[in-house]
Structure 1
Amino acid sequence: MTGFQRQYVSKLVPSNPVVLKTLLIAVAVVNSATLGYDASVMNGLSILPSYTGYFQLNDATTGLNNAAVWIGTILGIPLVQPIPDRYGRKNSILVATIITFFGIVLQAAAQNIAMFVVGRIIIGFGTCLSNVSAPPLLAELLPPRSRSYVLGIFFSCFYVGGLLSAIINYGSQNILSTWAWRLPSLLQFIPSIIAVALLPFIPESPRWLIANGHEEHAKEVLAVLDGGKSDDALVNAAVEMQDIKSTIAKEAAAYPRSPWKELLSTPANTKRVILLVLFGAMVEIVGNFIVSYYLTRILSQAGITDTHRQTQINVIIQCWSFAVAVAGSFLLDIIGRRLQTLIGTVGMTVTLYMLGAFIKVYGDSTDVSKNYGILAVIFLFQGFYAFSITPMTSLYPTEICQYKLRAAGAAVFKAVDAGLGLVMSFTMSFAMSDLGWKFYFINASWNVVVTALVFFCFVETKGLQLEEIAIKFGDSFITEGYNSSNSTTEGIGKLNKGQLTEHEVL
């Protein structure tokens, strides 16, 4: 059999499935690390006296500096759907990286709070676009078994960026100038540069190519993804392409208007929006925000006030979170999305109650063992969050939306996420100062409500093709004419034959 000659897919894209999957994982790592570094850099900077002293920060200006990135994210929401849908997932990642780079330079060179805040707003805009573009690209390139753990790893590697930020802050604390905070700010560009360098080695989304009339290009991508090197690979890819093309055509016929107008057009789409809003809120309100942005304040309340010790703890907690999040990513297809999320919300609820109680009783203690007892609870809380919410953050919003609504759905998710992030950035500093240990009890109490909502509302999606997931939301039109004999559509075939169990349907 003669190998087919590539006409559309770059020869830099490897034919070996293992190598290609490794590159896709690398894309997930570096894009997520960019987000993680950006979020955690403020936590690290807040520990440095050179940063707080230079800007003469108080509760209000600390909240503003932390909130700026969320302002940028909100400003970017109107563009995060049209850019990846019109220009492609890869080009969108490139644009996001360029925008982020300009924001990084401005932040590092800041001479006053206004300049720093503007830089952070630009970074928020860029990272928002990247976070909406990269997960759909990966989801649309990967089969179900790989999709769950790669997209789980995507946001789990948030902690890679956080760890890198923590290490750099730990090393820069001894610099006796403003470079103690300017250097960590400037080095945010490292993951961005790596992300751009990887783009030539991965293909464009075949679903985006098909939706935009580039069918021959899409067929080549599907052949390469299957590891095919012969002309037969193109034949097999053509069959798979027809399945995807048929599904996209049916979606277009069922939802003819713009994605934004279709979001609430049917009961199925309304259910999707409810889940996107619920999960977008969960990312910010279950308690992780205080660990990501106000770790210094928590440690001070726990009696751990030494700057050197705080930076050490910041490094260790990032390592711990990353290890737990990766483990959680690989368990998503074993435990299931819904149950794993429930385990996390219950665990976070319990540990927040414990944290509030321990800070009330032992917060003023000089006993090292009591201080570190509080620290152990912080680690337990962060472990539950990293195990459940972190791997789901990029996976679930991408999975539950069909192709036409995928970018718009991600934008809704980010809008809720960013909106609550903005509110909490401004209010958290005051709340923690005014309420003390009571704040953790309040947070734990609304986590009880969150747990109930997850139990009654979440839809299980493990092990299904993206097109198959639509059936669980009531998009039954998608099964008409679907090629159930194709190996990638096993779930559809089982459904048509009545072989899916009640558990699988729910």
Structure 2
Amino acid sequence: MNVTEEKDVLENVADGLTVKDVMPKREKLWFFYPGLLKLNIFLLIGILCQVVSGYDGSMMNGIQALESWQNYFDHPAGGRLGTMVNGNTIGTLITVPFVTFMCDYLGRRLSIIIGCCVIIIGATLQGAAQNFSMFMGSRILLGIGGCIASAAAGPYVTECAYPTHRAQATAMMLASWPLGSFVAALVTWAAYYSNLQTSTWSWRVPSILQGFFPLIQLALALIAPESPRWLIAKGKVEKARNFFVKYHAEGEPDQLIVKMQMAEIMATIEEEKTQHMSNVIKWIKSPGLRHRLFICFFVPAMLQLEGNALISYYLHIILNNIGITDSLTQLKFNIGLTVWALVASVVIASVVDRFNRRTVFMSGLSSMCFCYVIWTILSAINQQRNFEDKGLAAGVVTMIYLYNGCNVICAVIGTPYVMEICPYFMRATGSMIYQLSGNVVGLFNNYVNPIAMEAITWKYYIVWCCNLVFLMVIVYFFFPETRGHDLEDVAEVFGSDVVGGRAAVRKQMMDGEKHFDNNMHLETAAAVEQTPTDALTEKA
């Protein structure tokens, strides 16, 4: 194919076709295709990164109900308890400045490997803790490892997933949070109910098992492929193409899905290099990129400021405030809550791509606000009646369950939304910002929540009711809709400050210039060779 024909085909592709237009038709479910099955198994190394966070919150809830843990650490409360809970967050904040460098220069996969190794070490030391300082130090290590792995997980899953699976796969990252929460609740309950109840092993065993899922991730990551977009950015074009052939096209190199993705990704990354997208100053000067940065900061903060932190780390205080003080009852309630959250999150994550992103956010926030208002009213009446009305306590418990299900609606869409609005050279930084913002707000929550809960009890819920209304206003006015766009073409909804995939191809063809290096030029030619021009024109 000569240069003129190549230009004609690329113009047709740029103007009319999307990746979804050229995807092969599959008559069976994805797990019947070896390439997709292997790919989705490997994506677990990113999806399971949130298990550690979910496990940590539920475990800290559970072991606070264990008398052996309370006695060993001299019944921590207030600021001391907040410091112990925040150990994980402190480790995250220490690491945040370095994770962008690691993700962009070491690669997404290697960063996850390093993070999992640190988590395993931290979990082991936490289980062997001899005093407050050792327990705190191990929790800081858990935060360091968790930050590295989680920051790399979002870009890895987003950049590797099959196009029609991208939203669901990335949403499953947050769905894995209640999986960790459920496992931790089950383990702490089993330790309480067994003959370990009076032994320090009742909290040491759950602490050590925090390294179980990272061990699974580590084993998978050692044999998993690297992100094809990272490979292209590093000039390893052939390895990237092999990835798409093997995992997206079931070993068929002539599939249009391979050619289309390679052409779009290479053109987009080359344009981003031309526009110096790695320069942070450019992000501040560009209106569209400032909009993206705002969303990157706001979404994780929003997910922490919905009132869910009360349930995640201080459930025992909430239950105490409504008269449910028995430790075994609290542990059982924690297990039930995590099972419900796990089921709800998996179901919602599976169908999340069928609805507009803004609709999902607004539905979650409004339903949470409704639950919190009822929860607040019932708690106030319950206190007035000296916690003697068991029906009111049951009503509060019901609202907590309903709230947790509604919270999942927002939680599962947060990471997919942030990852898809970020251009390639901004994605690792966007993931870093996600960790930074969420953990800074989490740090605030973990110090303020126990103090406020003990000081003003149910009145503190009013703050969260008002805050949920404020969050809805921000989402309504500042969140653009991104559903239905290819990953390289989401830039279209933010204006023209970043050139999208098809637009990047079109721009190069209209300029009559070749911005690719030699390897990229050869790959672009391969992306259109043997493709009938008439067929592409007809689809366009």
* TM-score normalised by structure 2 residue count: 0.83
State the partner residue of 1:502: none
- 5+ long unaligned stretches in structure 1: 1-13, 489-496, 500-506
1:198-217 correspondence to structure 2 within 5 Å: 198-217=220-239
State the partner residue of 1:480: 503
Q: Distance in 2 between matches of 1:23 and 1:256?
A: 32
1:173-322 correspondence to structure 2 within 5 Å: 173=192, 174=194, 175=196, 176-230=198-252, 232=254, 237-238=258-259, 240-258=261-279, 260-322=280-342
Counterpart residue identity of residue 41, structure 2: L
1:92-111 correspondence to structure 2 within 5 Å: 92-111=111-130
1:114 is displaced (CA, Å) by 1.4
Q: Distance in 1 between matches of 2:39 and 2:252?
A: 20
Q: 3-state DSSP class of the match of 1:264?
A: helix
Q: Which residue among 47, 50, 61 is the counterpart of 2:68?
A: 50
1:112 is displaced (CA, Å) by 1.4
Q: 3-state DSSP class of the match of 2:238?
A: helix
The answer on whether the counterparts of 1:155 and 1:391 sit within 8 Å (CA) in structure 2 is: yes
Q: Would the alpha carbon gap of residues 231 and 415 (structure 1) be closer, same or farther in structure 2, given more than 3 Å must change?
A: closer
Q: Work out whether 1:395 is the aligned partner of 2:416.
A: yes
Q: Distance in 1 between matches of 2:132 and 2:222?
A: 38
- Deviation track 1:290-333 (CA, whole Å, cap 9, x = no partner) reads 00000111111111111111000100100101111122212322
Q: Distance in 1 between matches of 2:276 and 2:324?
A: 56
Out of 33-42 and 79-88, give the one that drifted further.
33-42
State the partner residue of 2:481: 460
- Deviation track 1:227-276 (CA, whole Å, cap 9, x = no partner) reads 3334535x963553232111001011113543x33432311110001111
The answer on whether the counterparts of 2:232 and 2:240 sit within 8 Å (CA) in structure 1 is: yes
Q: Distance in 2 between matches of 1:102 and 1:346?
A: 41
Q: Work out whether 1:171 is the aligned partner of 2:194.
A: no
Counterpart residue identity of residue 59, structure 2: V
Q: 3-state DSSP class of the match of 1:177?
A: coil
Q: Distance in 1 between matches of 2:57 and 2:335?
A: 14
Q: Which residue among 156, 161, 164 is the counterpart of 1:137?
A: 156
Q: Would the alpha carbon gap of residues 187 and 349 (structure 1) be closer, same or farther in structure 2, given more than 3 Å must change?
A: same
The answer on whether the counterparts of 1:163 and 1:319 sit within 8 Å (CA) in structure 2 is: yes
The answer on whether the counterparts of 1:143 and 1:465 sit within 8 Å (CA) in structure 2 is: no
State the partner residue of 1:383: 405
Q: Distance in 1 between matches of 2:119 and 2:179?
A: 18
Q: Would the alpha carbon gap of residues 263 and 108 (structure 1) be closer, same or farther in structure 2, given more than 3 Å must change?
A: farther
Q: Which residue among 432, 441, 450 is the counterpart of 2:462?
A: 441
Q: Distance in 1 between matches of 2:437 and 2:48?
A: 24
Q: Work out whether 1:41 is the aligned partner of 2:59.
A: yes
State the partner residue of 1:30: 48
Structure of greater Rg:
2
1:178 is displaced (CA, Å) by 0.7
Q: Distance in 2 between matches of 1:42 and 1:262?
A: 42
State the partner residue of 1:11: none
1:391-430 correspondence to structure 2 within 5 Å: 391-430=412-451
The answer on whether the counterparts of 1:145 and 1:463 sit within 8 Å (CA) in structure 2 is: no
1:80 is displaced (CA, Å) by 1.1
1:66-85 correspondence to structure 2 within 5 Å: 66-85=85-104
State the partner residue of 1:340: 360
State the partner residue of 1:5: none
Q: Distance in 2 between matches of 1:226 and 1:334?
A: 21
The answer on whether the counterparts of 1:144 and 1:463 sit within 8 Å (CA) in structure 2 is: no
Q: Distance in 1 between matches of 2:378 and 2:277?
A: 56
Q: Distance in 2 between matches of 1:425 and 1:472?
A: 36
Q: Distance in 1 between matches of 2:481 and 2:85?
A: 34
The answer on whether the counterparts of 2:117 and 2:218 sit within 8 Å (CA) in structure 1 is: no
Q: Would the alpha carbon gap of residues 427 and 26 (structure 1) be closer, same or farther in structure 2, given more than 3 Å must change?
A: same
1:210 is displaced (CA, Å) by 0.4
Q: Distance in 1 between matches of 2:47 and 2:185?
A: 17
Q: Work out whether 1:88 is the aligned partner of 2:107.
A: yes
Q: Distance in 1 between matches of 2:452 and 2:276?
A: 44
Q: Distance in 2 between matches of 1:300 and 1:406?
A: 43
* TM-score normalised by structure 1 residue count: 0.89
The answer on whether the counterparts of 2:182 and 2:335 sit within 8 Å (CA) in structure 1 is: yes
State the partner residue of 1:3: none
- Equivalent residues, number: 473
Out of 355-364 and 213-222, give the one that drifted further.
355-364
1:29 is displaced (CA, Å) by 4.3
State the partner residue of 2:140: 121
State the partner residue of 1:156: 175
Q: Distance in 2 between matches of 1:438 and 1:464?
A: 44
Report the RMSD for the aligned CA atoms in angstroms: 2.3
The answer on whether the counterparts of 1:28 and 1:153 sit within 8 Å (CA) in structure 2 is: no
Q: Distance in 2 between matches of 1:197 and 1:347?
A: 40
Q: Distance in 2 between matches of 1:97 and 1:163?
A: 20
Counterpart residue identity of residue 77, structure 1: V
